Amino acid sequence: MQILNIILTVIILFSREYPQDTRILFDGVSLEGWETVDFEGHGSISVKEGCIIIEAGKLISGIRWIKDFPKTNYEVSLDAKRVQGSDFFCGMTFPVKESFLTLVIGGWGGSVVGLSCIDGYDAANNFTCNVYGLSSNVWYSVRLKVTDEKIEAWIDDYRVVDFTIDDYVLSLRWEVESSIPFGITTYRTTGALKNITLTMDAE
């Protein structure tokens, strides 16, 4: 039954219609292209039933993409859910030209969505902070779009981030610096991921 589920997952994944210039970053069966980030006390990483499972750790747990990744004009899409815990289940660290940011989904007790860090202020303390009701064991469709001028993010069809870069200073909290250039983390929380894609030349 488990083998059948894996086969069905792969068939569904590769039978979907994706925009031109889209790369599949997770094949549903392996962690090819990814590595576990060696955060102190991190939880285990595995693939189960077509999903990447990031187990809760002492603090942060996560994975990092080790192949080429664009710096701007791209879009990342994935499905994510909180399996267990009460904090962020998808902290997506990503490049913005020569800088980096993290899109935090479900942080600071489970409901904060925003970008860390802008002018040194994290997602709970800058103007991108958005409180969003996020339930456990519910799949959410997450989409991140990065261009030279803007960063936008959606949860399902609701836009949760609409940030114009201008002259703001972009940076990371030190805890996730080892996730660059692109990584996904959780905080004391078990998260699941699937359908991870990268579309190039998003403008």
Q: Where are the alpha helices (DSSP H) in the chain?
A: 2-15
Q: What is the pLDDT of residue 21?
A: 85
Residue 117: cis peptide before it, omega within 30 degrees of 0: yes
The per-residue pLDDT for 161 is 98
Tell me what pLDDT residue 6 has. 47
* pLDDT value at residue 119: 98
One digit per residue, the tens of pLDDT, for the chain of length 203 reads 555 444 545 444 444 565 668 999 999 999 999 999 999 999 999 999 999 999 999 999 999 999 999 999 999 999 999 999 999 999 999 999 999 999 999 999 999 999 999 999 999 999 999 999 999 999 999 999 999 999 999 999 999 999 999 999 999 999 999 999 999 999 999 999 999 999 998 56
Which domains are assigned to the chain? 2-200 (2.60.120.560)
**Rounded-to-integer distance, Cα 56 and Cα 62, Å:** 9
User: Residue 201: its pLDDT value, please?
Assistant: 83
Q: Is 200 helix (H, G, I), strand (E, B) or coil?
A: strand
Strand partners, 183: 64, 93
One DSSP character per residue, 104-138 reads EEEETTTTEEEEE-BTTB-TTSSTT-EE----TT-
Q: CA dist 16 to 39, 83, 148, 166, 195, Å?
A: 34, 25, 29, 36, 10
